[in-house]
Every structure is written in structure tokens, then in C-alpha cells.
Amino acid sequence: MKEKISEIESDILKESLSNAKEIENFRIKYLGSKGKIKGLFAWLKEVPNEEKREAGQLMNGLRNKAQEIFDTAKEKLSTTSEEANKIDLSRPGDQIEVGARHPLSLVRSEIIEIFNRIGFTVSEGPEIEDDWHNFSALNFPPEHPARDMQDTFFIEKGEKEMALRTHTSSVQVRVMENDKPPIRTISPGRVYRNEAISARAHCFFHQVEGLYIDKDVSFADLKQTLLYFAKELFGEKAKIRLRPSYFPFTEPSAEVDVSCTICNSKGCNVCKYTGWLEILGCGMVDPNVLEASGIDSKEFTGFAFGMGVERIAQLKYKVNDLRLYSENDVRFLKQFTGGI
């Protein structure tokens, strides 16, 4: 009898009680209604009377010991799991990193928005263009220097010449070919020119070009549209100035300056002490260009303009090195905020 009790006792002490499952098994094995200790008590009946007292005490001792081991293990488990589940409500939350839009996207959206307000739609076209849409339809004579390898990235030379577009005027040719006037559209997009990369030039940049064709469109309409644009973009005080220029696809052509927003036209190193900043090229669409796309130049006239998004961003954000726009340095990109 005693042997049996001390055998169970030494078993109890050997049990591992490190998780909920082991603790429950312990309970079933020793303390449960079919457990070993209960079994011992049933056996008590068969113990001779003179030994009953001692045996009962030993059994009670054993049961109490098992119960105590069980209770302590259970208690320990509940405090450790409580510890693990404890939520520290005073802990600051994880920071959500809010992204920022690229400065060029911000400026492009702003330009599009300004022209949308006066009825211009957005048109897009391929970045790999044929000679017709990039040059010929735009009245570039065959020997024009812009077709030279110097400026254009050719993809295929020869009969079917393909190149990376050098301007988004190519998209406007596609619009003129497919739509009938009135046409009022802007073409934002990436363009490519074979230039050495420096702070002032890159082998690709972004443009927004505009085209308006209808009956009786005049140079006054062009000038007024551009004045509206400059005021919307740079503020009510902005002034514009047009200087005669040359583009194969417009006649007459002009280059447009906006009054320097940085020094209020007083003169600074950005405007090179002239008070003016060049922002875009424009002109009345050459009748040859209209005819090349099947538009009757006796019935319709139009104006076109084109600007570099980097150039505008440079003026808005005072970032003078063009390379920063494509280096994807997060420290640079994080600084710009604006609506989505």
C-alpha cells in the first residue's frame, strides 16, 4: 500500500506541467474521477482496519500534494499567458508612411486641370513614333536639323523609320487625323532627345502641348488663352510677353515669357536679371500642317503651344537641377505635397 502511494508520489513529481495540455492531462491522470488517486481511495476498503487510518492520511496527503501541484501550475500558466496578451494602450501606434506624389505629376495634373476648365480634353499617343507623325506631317523639311541623329533617338532607320518621339506634337497629328474640328485638346507625355545629361538638359523630359482648331481662331485667342493659363498657374499678378520665334509647324510662331515670380520682375539670378522667364513655344498652326492631316485650311485655323513640365516645376518649386526629377531619391521626393 505504502509502496503504491510513494510510487504515485514520485510519478507526480516527475510530470512536466509546462502547458495547458499537460496540466489537463495531469488532472485527468491523478485527480479525475477515474484518476489514480481516486482509484487508491476505492482500494481503501480492502485495507485491514488497523492500517486504514494511516493509509487514509497518506492518501489524503498525496491528493493534497497533487492538487497543490496542479493549482500552482495552472496559476503560473494563466499569469504568463495574461502577460503575453497584455495590450499596452499607452504605446504609440505604428506610423503609417504617407507617400507623396512626384513633383512632375503634381505640376502635370495642375496644367491639365487649368486647361480642362476651359474645355480642353486630354489626348495621348505612342512614345515610339514614325517619321510622319513626329516630323513630316508637322512640316519639317527633309533636311531639317531636328531630324539629325544629334537630337533624335532612332529605333529603326531606313524605309520605315521609327524613333522615340521628340515632342508630343505627334499626338496632335493623330488627333487631327481622327477627329473633325472643333478640336480643343492637350497632350501630356514623355519625350526624348539625344542630349548629354547635365543639370540643364536630360535625354528625356515631359511636355504638355495644346491644340485648338476651329473656324476663326486668331492669334488674339492664343494670347488670351496663354495669359489665362499663366495667371492660373503663377497667380493673378502674372504677366506674359511674346517674342517672335520659329517652328516648322506654326506660322507665325512665338516664344512666351512669364514675369518672374521669384523676384516679382525686379531681377534675380533665376530670370538672369531680365524679370522674365521663358515657359513655352506657340504659334498659329501652319496651313500645311492642317492640310497634311486632312483639315481644310481655308475653312479652319488654329493655334498650338507646347511647354516642358520640368521647366514649369523648376519655377514652381525652385529646383534647378533637372537630374533630381529622375533620380528617385526619396529625400527629394518627400518634399512635395499636393492633392491626388
Residue 205 binds to ligand PHE (criterion: CB under 6 A): no
- Three-class SS state of 255: strand
Q: Shortest distance, CB of residue 279 to ligand PHE, whole angstroms?
A: 11
Residue 188 binds to ligand PHE (criterion: CB under 6 A): no
Q: Report the distance separating Cα 134 and Cα 140, nearest Å.
A: 9
**Sheet with strand 128-130: strands edge to edge:** 128-130, 162-164, 154-156
Q: At what angle do helices 309-317 and 103-116 cross, to 10 degrees?
A: 110
**Near ligand PHE by CB under 6 A: residue from 23, 69, 222, 304:** 304
Q: Shortest distance, CB of residue 116 to ligand PHE, whole angstroms?
A: 19
* Contact mark string toward ligand PHE, 65..104, x via CB under 6 A: ----------------------------------------
Peptide bond into 252 cis (omega under 30): yes
Binding region for ligand PHE (CB under 6 A) out of 21-29, 85-93, 267-275, 302-310: 302-310
| Residues facing residue 305 across a β-bridge | 210, 282
Q: Shortest distance, CB of residue 95 to ligand PHE, whole angstroms?
A: 43
State the alpha helices, DSSP H only, in 181-301. 219-234, 287-292
Contact criterion met (CB below 8 Å) for 260 and 268: yes
Binding region for ligand PHE (CB under 6 A) out of 5-13, 47-55, 91-99, 278-286: 278-286
Q: Shortest distance, CB of residue 234 to ligand PHE, whole angstroms?
A: 20
Residue 167 binds to ligand PHE (criterion: CB under 6 A): yes
By C-beta, is 24 or 255 nearer to ligand PHE? 255
Residue 186 binds to ligand PHE (criterion: CB under 6 A): no
By C-beta, is 22 or 251 nearer to ligand PHE? 251
- Three-class SS state of 336: coil
Distances (CA, A) of 78 to 109, 221, 224, 234, 240: 59, 81, 79, 67, 77
Contact criterion met (CB below 8 Å) for 41 and 59: yes
Size of the site for ligand PHE (CB under 6 A): 11
By C-beta, is 167 or 174 nearer to ligand PHE? 167
Residue 134 binds to ligand PHE (criterion: CB under 6 A): no
Nearest to 39 by CA among 25, 21, 22, 59: 59
Q: Shortest distance, CB of residue 169 to ligand PHE, whole angstroms?
A: 4
Residues at the contact surface with ligand PHE, assessed by CB under 6 A: 167, 169, 209, 247, 250, 281-283, 304-306
